[in-house]
A = this chain, B = another copy of it.
Amino acid sequence: MDTDQITQLIDKICREARQASLQLAAASMEEKNAFLQLLAQELDIARPTLIAENQKDLEAGRAMDLTPALLDRLELTEKRIQQMIEGVLEVAALEDPVGEDIGKIKRPNGLLIRKVRVPLGVVGIIYESRPNVTIDCAALCLKSGNAAILRGGKEAIHTNRALAEVLTKTLARTNLPPYALQLIPTTDRYALSCLLKKDDFVQCLIPRGGESLIRFVVENSTIPVIKHYKGVCHLYLDEKADPEMARRITINAKCQRPGVCNAIEKLLLHDQLPGDLVGQILKDLHEQGVALRLDPETAKKAEAQGFTDFSPAQESDWDEEYLDMILAVKTVLSTKDAVDHINAHGSGHSEAIVTADPTTARSFQTQIDAAAVYWNASTRFTDGYEFGLGAEIGISTDKLHARGPMGLRELCSYKYLVDGTGTIKE
């Protein structure tokens, strides 16, 4: 396709999505759930095709020397197809957010104003190599009454086209608009650039991927973007932390699944914590296989406890998201120091304090600027399921519209329905 053809294609996709979104906004919960049930069936039927198309992507990926980690993300196994199907059925079981009354006011002039939840309209999802995103996001968008425009990575294009065919086929079995869920069939960067300017038709973009993808979208888009940058999460052990709780939460927050955004990357230790507790925590982490990077103060304490399996922390360590078994540790003089450090270096995702002092805990929670602030709990709980929102489309590190886990409600806007009796403005 040349650039003119791509321009026209993206324009067509966006216009059709906008039209579809107007119909979808009025779709009933029954219609939407029936679609999701059918989608689960069609995915089941399509298993052999999906696996075969995915093989093409995997072969191409191997030929392009993709890393094993990337190839793993790309792969669609029988088990992963099963998980997609179960995910779709879970979304079907969630409550429909659309039409919910979220405010009502009777004005002195007799106007009755009701605020009701409505879909955002058209949501664009821009993602990388995981093909399950295609189905997960399509299901969440449709259930929340939104049309979706899906733009996956080039590595997964065969798989994504096959998945998009399943979506189209399923839509054709319902009365829902056929263009409710569309995949951009080309991964040309120019097509993405066109999409990013379609603010007349697309209400919101959600990039799911690495920081450079998100940065590209933010810098080039005229459409509002909900960002999920990174999780530079901290755990702060206050001087009044219960020692056993401190050890348990530290290990859990770092090691239970180190490759996810709500795992901690930094540990802050109050200067007054007992030296043997500091030594014990560092040894715990080392035994779990965590590579430790210590600031000079913590290093001194570690050495005093006979612990030397660490390297010195560099200045850049305080801002880095490792997503790996690495932890930077710093000693702070007070809760205020901890708060200042976190507000300066954190990514606004999840932060935690362990302390037996409720006043210190509340002060920490109030002053920390992050989506979720934990007291005596692991940061690992920041996700849609753990927060009781059901499946999530992402975790926002933005403060506008949605912050933290984004479920179905966060895929909605609202409107005011105003009933009068011939009411005019005096």
Contacts and interface: CB of A to CB of B under 8 A. Distances in A.
A96 to B, nearest CB: 14
A293 interface: no
Copy number of this protein in the oligomer? 2
A230 to B, nearest CB: 13
B401 A400 contact: yes
Interface stretch (A43-51, A70-78, A265-273, A409-417): A409-417
A248 B424 CA distance: 8
Contact of A377 (B111, B244, B369): B111
A311 interface: no
A423 B400 CA distance: 29
A319 to B, nearest CB: 11
A105 B400 contact: no
B376 A421 contact: yes
B22 A418 contact: no
A352 B339 CA distance: 50
A107 B386 contact: yes
B204 A400 contact: yes
Nearest to A399: B413
B423 A377 contact: yes
B343 A417 contact: no
Given A245-B422, A256-B425, A416 B400 contact: no
A373 interface: yes
B371 A416 contact: yes
Contacts of A422: 242, 244-245, 248-249, 376-377
Interface in A1-51: 22, 25-26
Interface of A: 22, 25-26, 105, 107, 111, 113, 118, 120-121, 199, 203-204, 218-219, 222, 224-226, 242, 244-245, 248-249, 252-253, 256-257, 343, 361, 365-367, 369-378, 380-382, 386-388, 398-401, 403-404, 413-425
Question: What are the nearest 4 A-B pairs in CB distance?
Answer: A377-B420, A252-B424, A380-B425, A399-B413
